[in-house]
Amino acid sequence: MITIALSKGRIFEETVPLLAAAGITPLEDPESSRKLILPTNRADVRLIIVRASDVPTYVQYGAADLGVAGKDVLNEHGGTGLYQPLDLKIACCRMMVAVRNDFDYDSAVRQGARLRVATKYVQTAREHFAAKGVHVDLIKLYGSMELAPLVGLSDAIVDLVSSGNTLKANNLKAVEEVGQISSRLVVNQAALKLKREAIQPMLDAFAQAVHK
């Protein structure tokens, strides 16, 4: 049995065409089904539906053989025990520093001010500001980061931006790019050795679908 870990929403939706290229079709839709283990058209392949940030953990421990996770999530996880053979180029966005429209970020940085930064991506933010030599106090949040500067919790946030509509709707502006984000295929290293006959053709089909 090959188990593939996916999260609901954009990752599931954008992975379906790649699965199709490998001859795999989910038999249920996670948006309507309450099942967390979804069968596919192939008796030897099943999907498990987990939180986006839990995908690397399931694969790391071998509870799933493969998974799809954002680079944002993988950077926070650290990637231990994971083979990352392929950038799937799906669920693309940018990790950005954002502040209130009326906050002068550049001059705060120039003056060497200590910035309060709220984010779900503490590891990524720490690395980013350390590399820039900017002193920050990081405040860990689990969601709705956009609220933090509006109510005085922080000066800045580090969050994902795709259309920019969420920032705009909350009177925030992006001031700095932390990095380009897309989703990666992750594979359990032991599973790749033990189940290579089943897994390698899938990897090849995904690679071909991405590069076509």
* Stretch of 47-55, 57-65, 101-109, 197-205 contacting ligand PRT, by CB under 6 A: 47-55
Distance between CA 121 and CA 75 in Å, rounded?
9
Should residue 16 be labelled a site residue for ligand PRT when binding is judged by CB under 6 A?
no
- Asked whether 118 and 145 are in contact (CB, 8 A), the reply is yes
Map residues 105-144 to x or -, x wherever contact with ligand PRT holds by CB under 6 A.
--------------------------------------x-
Should residue 174 be labelled a site residue for ligand PRT when binding is judged by CB under 6 A?
no
Place of tokens 């954008």: 14
208's tokens: 């071909």
Least Å distance, CB 1 to ligand PRT, is 25
3-state secondary structure 108-158: HHHCCCCEEEEECCHHHHHHHHHHHCCCEEEEECCCCHHHHHHHCCCCEEE
Residues 64-103 close enough to bind ligand PRT by CB under 6 A: 70, 72-73, 91, 93
Should residue 9 be labelled a site residue for ligand PRT when binding is judged by CB under 6 A?
yes
Q: Count of CB atoms within 10 A of residue 7's CB?
A: 23
Least Å distance, CB 107 to ligand PRT, is 25
- Asked whether 84 and 40 are in contact (CB, 8 A), the reply is no
* Stretch of 34-42, 49-57, 129-137, 189-197 contacting ligand PRT, by CB under 6 A: 49-57
Residue 5, strand partner residues? 48, 67
Percent helix, strand and coil across the chain, each rounded to 5? Answer: 35, 30, 30
What is the SS3 assignment for 4? strand
Of 4 and 52, the one with the shorter C-beta distance to ligand PRT is: 52
Please count the residues of this chain forming the interface with ligand PRT, following the rule CB under 6 A: 23
Residues 142-171 close enough to bind ligand PRT by CB under 6 A: 143, 159-166
Place of tokens 């053979």: 85
Taking CB under 6 A as the criterion, the residue among 47, 49, 52, 64 binding ligand PRT is 52
Of 176 and 199, the one with the shorter C-beta distance to ligand PRT is: 176
- Asked whether 73 and 55 are in contact (CB, 8 A), the reply is yes
Taking CB under 6 A as the criterion, the residue among 13, 28, 42, 53 binding ligand PRT is 53
- What residue ranges bind ligand PRT (CB under 6 A)? 7, 9-11, 51-53, 70, 72-73, 91, 93, 143, 159-166, 181, 183
